Amino acid sequence: MKPKKFFGQHFLHDQSVVEAIVAAAEISPRDIVLEIGPGNGVLTKRLVQEALRVVAVDIDREAIDTVSTMVAADNLELVLSDILSLTSIQRDDLVGDGYICVGNLPYNISSEVLNTFLTQRPKPLRCVFMLQREVADRLMATAGDMNRLALMVQLHARASRVIQVKPGAFFPPPEVQSTVVRFDLMMPEEQRERGIEDAQGVMDVAAVAFSSKRKQLVTTLVGYNGLKKETIARVLTQMGLPETARPQELSVDQWVELFMSL
């Protein structure tokens, strides 16, 4: 099967990376696994050996046919679809809550996939994704380098690097370095313990602020829900932050506190 540039396909062939992904996913014989983009089936072969059931979704008909031929397993279901076009109801019908999600993600849709699987139901227990290293570094950002992607991810999950992957692990080799990242989704109780009662509300405020991230919060948030500059400045001071604070300077916990205080 020849990789298609149109779909951003770079097929993983390094078995050591496959094993690292499988180990990080911690799949038990009771687990249902959703694989995004099985490609040539190299990872799929290992997943069906570990899981109760594997649902592999790919937009490419040739990929589906290839995996069907290469992986003969009764516990494999192949779905021809764009993963981002599946509704929450369709995903629930396929896997339900508490599944494990893995994938060698096309880099052009990685942010959308993260937003879908970390914030929308049905939610997985954990995800293990191959990402462009730049994206992996960005979503691990802390106060000083905070960004919308990192904030969204860290409001919903604990992210950890699994392995750095060189271009030679793929065919054809991509022009960028890659990183496998594990995401352990926080249960509602854990979010509440951290004071995260309304993650979407936090993101709504952040979206306004990060639209002009070089500007100070007292400037970008003026007018949001009727906020006045004096109110924003007072809240920042009460939080121990300077009135000149910019959106990238706040930690996740400070973003939560800011949202709750405004």
Same domain, 255 and 137: no
Domain identity same for 167 and 102: yes
- 186: DSSP letter: P
Q: How many CB atoms lie within 10 A of CB 189?
A: 7
Residue at a domain's end among 125, 155, 185: 185
Same domain, residue pair 234 and 118: no
Residue 21 lies in a domain: yes
Residue 95 lies in a domain: yes
Q: What is the CATH number of the domain that holds 205?
A: 1.10.8.100
Residue 124 lies in a domain: yes
Residue 193 located in a structural domain: no
* Domain identity same for 55 and 129: yes
pLDDT tens, the chain, 262 aa long: 776 776 778 899 999 999 999 999 999 999 999 999 999 999 999 999 999 999 999 999 999 999 999 999 999 999 999 999 999 999 999 999 999 999 998 888 999 999 999 999 999 999 999 999 999 999 999 999 999 999 999 999 999 999 999 999 999 999 999 999 999 999 999 999 999 999 999 999 999 999 998 899 999 999 999 999 999 999 999 999 999 999 999 999 999 999 999 9
Alpha-carbon span 103 to 34, nearest angstrom: 8
Count structural domains, the chain: 2
Do 27 and 137 share a domain, yes or no?
Answer: yes
- Are residue 175 and residue 221 in the same domain, yes or no? no
Co-location of 175 and 205 in the same domain: no
Q: What is the pLDDT of residue 9?
A: 83
Select from 149, 162, 159 the least CA-distant residue to 183.
159
Q: Are residues 149 and 225 in the same domain?
A: no
190 within domain boundaries: no
Please check whether residues 21 and 146 belong to one and the same domain: yes
165/121 Cα distance (integer angstroms): 30
Q: Is 114 in the same domain as 230?
A: no
Annotated binding-site residue numbers: 10, 12, 37, 58, 82, 104
Buried b (16+ CB within 10 A) or exposed e, 3-42: beeebebbbbeeeebbebbbebbebeeebbbbbbbbbbbb
Residue 142 maps to which CATH number?
A: 3.40.50.150
Q: What pLDDT sits at residue 106?
A: 83
pLDDT of amino acid 221: 97
Residue 221 counted as domain residue = yes
Domain assignment of residue 65, yes or no:
yes
Q: Are residues 71 and 155 in the same domain?
A: yes
Provide the domain limits for residue 81: 5-185
Does residue 133 form part of some domain?
Answer: yes
Among 191, 212, 25, 199, residue whose Cα is nearest residue 103? 25
171 and 235 in a common domain: no
Residue numbers in the known binding site for S-adenosyl-L-methionine are 10, 12, 37, 58, 82, 104
